[in-house]
Amino acid sequence: MNPASNLILVGPMGAGKTCIGKRLAEHFGLRLADADREIEQRAGSSVAAIFEHEGEAGFRARESAVLAELLAGDGLLLATGGGAVLAADNRRLLRERGFVVQLLVTVEQQLERLAQDRSRPLLAGSDREQVLRTLAAQRAPLYAEVADLRFDTGALSSAEAATRLAEQLDPLWRRPQASSAPHPYSGVNA
């Protein structure tokens, strides 16, 4: 059992990290952060524009900085971007600072879920299926490396997935309660 106070969702685009994350954050009383939205807010620009002007390397540097800042705190549900696991330092940070759930989805399910989505720079080419298959082959082992739990979202709505995942998490993950920490003045004579 990983006692980390943060809950982190990793997985490919279209797996449901943000939608499921919203419901889980509410269930567990956590603050929700979507890494890609945080990057966009801080940059004042979309992920696509960052990719266009700074390239993927520039985006990944921003991503690493945002992950480090967000995970410095406690009581967070973090929905990561699909490529957050690419950097070894990010994988270490995810493992150290959270209970990590890998959300699973097939390429066919991703294609269906992302059919109308034109905001993702890595899917801007003509052969989306091949891109998703290549990304899956590259990233799936990295998701598995950091995961404390693997959960298949493929055949479920986000509401169903969040409910079932919460049921699985309840006995596995207990975030430390703030009241369980010693009072800063305990044991000190006043």
DSSP 160-173: HHHHHHHHHHHHH-
- Give the count of beta carbons closer than 10 Å to the beta carbon of residue 164: 15
Question: Which region, left, alpha or beta, applies to residue 75 given φ > 0 means left and ψ of -120 to 50 means alpha?
Answer: left
Residue 44 assigned to a binding site: no
The answer to the question of whether 98 is labelled as a binding residue is no
Minimal CA–CA distance to 67: which of 45, 93, 105, 106? 93
Is 113 marked as a binding-site residue?
A: no
Work out the number of other CB atoms within 10 angstroms of the CB of residue 77.
Answer: 26
Query: Is 17 annotated as belonging to a binding site?
Result: yes
154: Cα within 13 Å, side-chain hemisphere: 10
Contact partners, residue 118, CB within 8 Å, separation at least 6: 124
Does the annotation place 19 within a ligand binding site?
Answer: yes
State how far the Cα of 169 lies from the Cα of 3, in Å rounded to an integer. 12
**Is 18 annotated as a binding-site member?**
yes
Q: Which two tokens stand for residue 68?
A: 């480090």
- Residue 52 CA from chain centroid, whole number: 23
**Binding site annotation covers 14?**
yes
Residue numbers in the known binding site for Mg(2+) are: 18
Residue numbers in the known binding site are: 14-19, 36, 60, 82, 120, 139
Residue numbers in the known binding site for substrate are: 36, 60, 82, 139
Residue numbers in the known binding site for ATP are: 14-19, 120
